[in-house]
């Protein structure tokens, strides 16, 4: 069985919990990319966790990487666009709460 290819969007505090969880089951998955608006932060996060690729634009990440699942760990206000982009890229999504800022956004 091939490992699931995981990406992390948002490299703030909660993302460490996601990354450590994925690392704990490294026989089943691998983190192949991280994304953060702050390039230096993304670069350092990738280096710290041994992730081969980092991006500042999740649309570019989805275009360039083969990703099976993504953890959305961004600010609440950006959960919706990151989640929709991941779903449109064919990824399974684990999104921190809330999934959107209101009912209308969640229905999108």
For the purposes of burial, counting CB atoms within 10 Å of the CB of 24, is it exposed (0-12), middle (13-18) or buried (19 or more)?
exposed
What burial letters (b/e) apply to 87-100, b meaning 16+ CB within 10 Å? Answer: eebebebbbbeeeb
For the chain, residues with pLDDT lower than 50 are none
pLDDT at residue number 106: 86
């Amino acid at each position: 069985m091939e490992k699931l290819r995981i990406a992390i969007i948002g490299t703030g505090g909660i993302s460490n919990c996601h990354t450590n969880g994925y690392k704990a089951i490294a026989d089943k998955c691998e983190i192949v990319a991280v994304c953060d608006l702050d390039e230096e932060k993304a670069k350092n996060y990738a280096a710290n966790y041994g992730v081969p690729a980092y991006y500042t634009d999740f649309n570019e990440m989805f275009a360039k990487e083969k990703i099976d699942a993504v953890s959305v760990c961004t600010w609440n206000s950006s959960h919706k666009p990151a989640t929709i982009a991941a779903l449109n890229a064919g990824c399974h999504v684990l999104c921190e709460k809330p999934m959107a800022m209101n009912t209308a956004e969640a229905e999108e």
